[in-house]
Homo-oligomer: A and B are copies of this chain.
Amino acid sequence: MSQEPEIPFAVRESIEQVEEGRALAPKFDEHGLIPCVTTAAATGEVLMLGYMNEEALRRTIASGEAHYWSRSRQVLWHKGATSGLIQRVVELRIDDDQDAVWLRVEIPGDASCHVGYRSCFYRSVPTGAAAGQALHFEEREKVFDPKKVYGDAPNPTQL
């Protein structure tokens, strides 16, 4: 992989700087990670919640393609390198206290989830008067067959 791009991160000096300023001063957690919400730019659908380390965030900013840190595999993860489902960044946002990232992306094939669905969030949880009922599948059919795309690669889900 190419050399890590030189994207400067500012030192976090004050609440005003972090909340109201124009300097990127991301906060990484005790594992060196920042959570990233990724939505489909066209529909607003949440596709996944991933995590980035410093290098993944820098590579995403510089390349305009989503990079994450895979917590299950403990490697830098250029999303789509295996499946071809590259996420092209339409917009990258940072939140008020700069400890979360929002990526709006375009994806080929309209699929993002390793299980084969469009979004990782393919099931809803009944609430209110329906609380306690079984999960409901909001996506009825898989967009692709994960066995064909990933072959024998280990499933990233951990119990």
Binding site for B on A (CB under 8 A): 5-8, 12-15, 18-24, 27, 35, 37, 39, 43-46, 48-49, 60-64, 89, 91-97, 100-102, 113-115, 117, 120-128, 131-132, 134-138, 155-159
Residue contact B94 to A48, C-beta cutoff 8 Å: no
Q: Among the interface residues A37, A64, A134, which one has the most CB atoms of the partner chain B within 10 A? A: A37
Q: Which chain B residues lie closer than 8 Å to A20 at the CB level? A: 115
A121 to B126, CA, bound (A): 28
Binding site secondary structure of chain A? loop
Residue contact B35 to A135, C-beta cutoff 8 Å: no
Least Cβ–Cβ distance between A54 and chain B, in angstroms: 14
- A-B residue pairs in contact (CB < 8 Å), sample of 26: A7-B132, A8-B132, A15-B155, A18-B159, A19-B115, A19-B157, A22-B123, A24-B125, A39-B39, A48-B95, A49-B100, A61-B126, A62-B131, A89-B128, A92-B125, A93-B121, A93-B122, A93-B123, A94-B123, A95-B120, A96-B117, A96-B120, A97-B156, A97-B157, A97-B158, A100-B120
